[in-house]
């Protein structure tokens, strides 16, 4: 159980550190934004880490092994665990607000320019991650304790996949001139070679 919680804390912390660095870059690397993001991350994640460790100790007495399922389930869910999900969600909400303010702060002529700015900054990906956090938070409160771990594993996987797609998109925008790699296909290349070899040869004019 301790290993699971450490894995959870490491993945969610690393993902939000990346989000913090990304927002710092799109805000033209302003020191005030960096200090704000570090402050928000500290305010939300230091209590989250403490709540996560406290929940781990509480879960040690609530984990029950079910031979029919060959797995462990939680007999009950503690209040600190629900607060832990809320701490993770709080940073995502603040990050989205910062991104929205950044888009509105830029000079624009039409309203569509704001939408294009949000799309360019990857707002859809951040909103998607925040929605997954909301689903995780809400279902973590209303679902039975026996199904909480199943929910958490699926939510973490979706969040990591979404964040990975965001990272790939950002790197693609950084290197727009990278050429695509041509994969050699034996059948298509042999067909082209046969077509070339069967073409009539023209003799050079003398």
**Would you say residue 192 has pLDDT above 50?**
yes
122 pLDDT tier (thresholds 50, 70, 90): low
Mean per-residue pLDDT, 141-165: 70
Separation of CA 149 from chain center: 19
DSSP letter string over 117-129?
HHHHTTHHHHHHH
51 pLDDT tier (thresholds 50, 70, 90): confident
pLDDT above 70: percentage of residues in the chain:
55
Mean per-residue pLDDT, 28-33: 77
36 pLDDT tier (thresholds 50, 70, 90): confident
Spell 57-78 as b/e; 16+ CB within 10 A means b: ebbeeeeeeeeeeeeebbeebb
For the chain, the first-to-last Cα distance in angstroms comes to 86
Torsion angle (degrees, nearest 10) of CA 74, 77, 81, 83: 160
Q: How many CB atoms lie within 10 A of CB 23?
A: 22
Separation of CA 20 from chain center: 12
Q: Out of 52-61, 134-143, 153-162, 169-178, which region has the weakest mean confidence (pLDDT)?
A: 169-178
How far apart are alpha carbons 17 and 43 in whole angstroms? 14
- Between residues 94 and 111, the one the model is more confident about: 94
How far apart are alpha carbons 146 and 74 in whole angstroms? 5
Burial of 203 (0-12, 13-18, 19+ CB in 10 A): exposed
Spell 137-164 as b/e; 16+ CB within 10 A means b: bebbeeeebeebbeebeebbebbeebbe
């Amino acid at each position: 159980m301790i290993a699971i919680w450490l894995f959870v804390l490491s993945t969610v912390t690393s993902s939000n550190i990346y989000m913090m660095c990304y927002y710092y870059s799109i805000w033209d690397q302003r020191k005030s934004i960096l200090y704000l993001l570090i402050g928000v991350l500290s305010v939300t994640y230091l209590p989250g880490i403490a709540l996560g460790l406290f929940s781990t100790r509480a879960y040690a007495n609530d984990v029950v092994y079910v031979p029919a399922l060959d797995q462990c389930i939680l007999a009950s869910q503690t209040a600190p665990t629900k607060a832990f999900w809320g701490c993770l969600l709080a940073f995502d909400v603040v990050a989205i607000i910062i991104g929205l303010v950044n888009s509105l702060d830029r000079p624009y002529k039409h309203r569509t320019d704001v939408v294009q700015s949000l799309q360019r900054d990857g707002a859809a990906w951040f909103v998607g991650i925040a929605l997954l956090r909301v689903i995780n938070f809400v279902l973590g409160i209303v679902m039975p304790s026996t199904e909480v771990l199943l929910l958490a594993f699926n939510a973490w996987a979706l969040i990591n996949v979404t964040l990975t797609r965001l990272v790939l998109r950002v790197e693609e925008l950084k290197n727009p001139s990278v050429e695509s790699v041509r994969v050699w296909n034996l059948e298509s290349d042999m067909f082209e070679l046969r077509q070339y070899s069967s073409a009539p040869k023209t003799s050079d004019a003398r």
